[in-house]
Amino acid sequence: MNWETEISSSGEDAVVRGEKLENVMEMEFSDAIWLILKGEKPSEEESELFNTILSSSIDHGVGNPSTVAARTVQSGGNSMNTSVAAGIMALGDSHGGAIEEAMRILQSDKTAEHIVKQYLEESKRLPGLGHKVYKDEDPRAVKIIEKAETLGLAGKSIKKIQGIRDVLAEEKVDLVLNVDGAIAAVMTDLGWEPELGKGFFIIARTPGIVAHVREEMDEKPFRRQEGEYIGK
Bridge partners (DSSP) listed for residue 19: 16
Separation CA 215–CA 100 (nearest Å): 30
49: how many CB neighbours lie within 10 A of its CB?
A: 24
Q: Examine the residue annotation and report whether 95 is marked as an active-site residue of this protein.
A: no
The answer to whether residue 189 is catalytic is: no
Catalytic residue among 31, 138, 180, 189: 180
Distance CA 87, CA 80 (A): 11
Q: Of 131, 136, 212, 218, which is the active-site residue?
A: 131
Positions annotated as catalytic residues are: 131, 180
